[in-house]
Amino acid sequence: MSWTPPETRTAGDLLSAASYNTEVRDNLIFLHGGKTIVPIAHYGGVYTLSSSTWAAVDSANLAPTLTLSTGRVLIAFAGGFYADAAARLLSLDLEIDGTRIGGADGIIKESLDTVLRTISFSLFRVGLSAGSHQFKLMWKVGAGTATLASDANFPVHLGIAEW
């Protein structure tokens, strides 16, 4: 079902059952109906990275594909990170259909140390075409090694919802 622009009405115009069903009922279903949601809570062990170039965190488990009709998505991520030493700069980004959406430092850049802590981000993305899109979590570390915990105590959460 798609959005149907309502007709312009003037005082005294009658709203037929067909117009009501199309312009009111169907548009409300479109706006509030069951949009596609891909929630991931991954418990796959730990991920480590020692690279200052962008890499996928997990191309198999943290790279969902979503078919959109609206072109709008809400993306949320949370994960537990630590590093091999203090002041390791971690950058996180999201790749949509093979193109990263952040700048040189991604969506978020954080300084890590040896203590596990949660890093999260959420963003709203518009302007995607209708159809299938792959979303891939990307990361890099300025120096040393960064670790993303992924177990029962610290699952990696990635959610993508059509809006």
Nearest-CA neighbor of 111 among 78, 144, 136?
144
* 101 and 88 fall within a common domain: yes
pTM > 0.85: no
Where does the pLDDT of residue 129 fall: very low under 50, low under 70, confident under 90, or very high at 90 and above?
very high
Interval 54-103: pLDDT, tens: 999 999 989 999 988 888 999 999 999 999 999 999 999 999 999 999 99
* 48 and 1 fall within a common domain: no
Residue keyed to tokens 């979590």: 137
Please tell me the total count of domains within the chain: 2
- What domain range includes position 2? 1-33
User: Residue 9: pLDDT above 90?
Assistant: no
Q: Three-class SS of residue 26? A: helix
* 72 and 104 fall within a common domain: yes
Where does the pLDDT of residue 35 fall: very low under 50, low under 70, confident under 90, or very high at 90 and above?
low
User: Residue 50: pLDDT above 80?
Assistant: yes
Distance in angstroms (rounded) separating the CA atoms of residues 21 and 15: 10
Q: What is the CATH number of the domain that holds 141?
A: 2.60.120.40
Nearest-CA neighbor of 138 among 30, 54, 43?
54
| DSSP 8-state class, residue 141 | E
